[in-house]
Chains A and B, each alone.
Chain A
Amino acid sequence: MVLSVSANPSLPFLPSSFGPSPIRTSDVLRSQTTALSMTDEASDEAIVSQSLGGDPHAFGLLVERYQGRILGTASRFARNRHELEDLSQDIFLKAWKGLPTFRATAPFEHWLMRLAVRVCYDFLRKNRRFRENEISRELVNEKNDRLKEESADNADLDAGEAREVLQHAMASLKPKDQLVLTLKELEHKSVREIADLTGWSVSNVKVRAMRARNRLKENLIELGYGN
């Protein structure tokens, strides 16, 4: 599939103060011409180097290519669509800004996933207090009581309710614990993969994952969701 870039007149060029390098209109016109020849089969490195030249449309191809992976991971951290929208955009915007730091010694996908995990971790840290407050308010809601009753006898919760229960129990965990649990239990990453993504040692990840899981169990029981 050929990337059609000239079809979108609303995205002529970026401000020179933002992005991998200053962009001039002539650069954009030239890059659009070259982008027309860029296919889906082009290597990540080739697209990255073109993006580094200041071509946001080439970067758009990377977004299209990896949005599934990024959204898959980010959706485990966000509580709703609005948060997920913000979080995924933030990841790609940070990737754009950080492109000059990308070294082709490792695959682009690894670099992007590490960055995504870092942004998700920052997101958890920033929203921690807000989440805790919100959870404590929600605990008095009738809706919550209903959820407790339903889950107390191990009834099958629907996906939305299960997510809500999980979010309640996870909210009081430390951001690092939330990160490890999410990657391990929801993303099914191995300990080594998590260590690679987070930059922590394998033993640290193992210990943290085990403790976090135990804390989560305790939280579920405290909240009345255990049996």
Chain B
Amino acid sequence: METENDDLDRLFESAKPAMDQDAAYVALGLQTRVLAKLNSPSRSEDTVSQWANAFLRGAFVSVFIALALGGWAWFQTDLNFGTADFALSALVQNANWPSTQLLP
């Protein structure tokens, strides 16, 4: 079973009048609609939303870069997890943490 080329070509040709009919219908007033769209205030809203999107994207990228740089710096310096743990316990003792007062 095979669709012959002639059938396919005929199908393409048969479909065209409906498309042409739509084109003729839409042609009525297209110019006016395009000019109205150009003049529409929603266009400036579009621009505002574009700026807002660009700002959010910029903020996201900045945070991502800051996190990446911070992480890199963390592993490059001595501020690793062990040091942080030590620093935390020192802080607790120096702050005269209530639990330390219970110790004999």
- List the interface of chain A (C-beta within 8 A of B): 8, 10-15, 17-19, 56-57, 59-60, 63-64, 67-68, 71-72, 74-76, 78, 80-81, 84-85, 88-89, 92-93, 96, 154, 156-160, 162-163, 165-166, 185-186, 213, 216-217, 220-221, 225-227
Residues A226 and B22 in contact, CB atoms below 8 Å apart: no
Q: A75-B22, A89-B33, A163-B19 are known contacts. Are A67 and B39 too (CB-CB below 8 A)?
A: no
Chain B 12-42 interface mask (CB, 8 Å, partner A; 1/0): 1011111111110111001101111111010
A residues within 8 A CB of B78? none
Residues A221 and B47 in contact, CB atoms below 8 Å apart: no
B76 at interface, CB cutoff 8 A: no
B residues within 8 A CB of A217? 2-3, 8
Residues B34 and A93 in contact, CB atoms below 8 Å apart: yes
Q: How far is the CB of A143 from chain B (nearest CB, A)?
A: 16
For B34, give the chain A residue with the smallest CB separation: A92
Residues A226 and B7 in contact, CB atoms below 8 Å apart: yes
B residues within 8 A CB of A64? 31
Q: How far is the CB of B27 from chain A (nearest CB, A)?
A: 6
Residues B26 and A84 in contact, CB atoms below 8 Å apart: yes
Residues B18 and A221 in contact, CB atoms below 8 Å apart: no
Q: Chain A's interface: helix, strand, loop or mixed, by majority? A: helix
Residues A14 and B38 in contact, CB atoms below 8 Å apart: yes
Q: Contact partner of A85 among B2, B26, B36, CB < 8 A?
A: B26
Q: A56-B39, A75-B19 are known contacts. Are A89 and B11 too (CB-CB below 8 A)?
A: no
Interface residues on B, range: 35 or more
Separation of A56 and B39 alpha carbons in the complex (Å)? 8
B93 at interface, CB cutoff 8 A: no
For B24, give the chain A residue with the smallest CB separation: A71
Separation of A56 and B2 alpha carbons in the complex (Å)? 52
Separation of A8 and B35 alpha carbons in the complex (Å)? 11
Residues A18 and B3 in contact, CB atoms below 8 Å apart: no
Q: A59-B38, A85-B26 are known contacts. Are A15 and B43 too (CB-CB below 8 A)?
A: yes
Residues A221 and B2 in contact, CB atoms below 8 Å apart: yes
Residues A227 and B31 in contact, CB atoms below 8 Å apart: no
B residues within 8 A CB of A84? 22-23, 26
Q: How far is the CB of A27 from chain B (nearest CB, A)?
A: 14
Residues B3 and A227 in contact, CB atoms below 8 Å apart: yes
Q: How far is the CB of A111 from chain B (nearest CB, A)?
A: 17
A residues within 8 A CB of B38? 11, 14, 18-19, 56, 59, 93, 96
Residues B35 and A226 in contact, CB atoms below 8 Å apart: no
A residues within 8 A CB of B36? 10-11
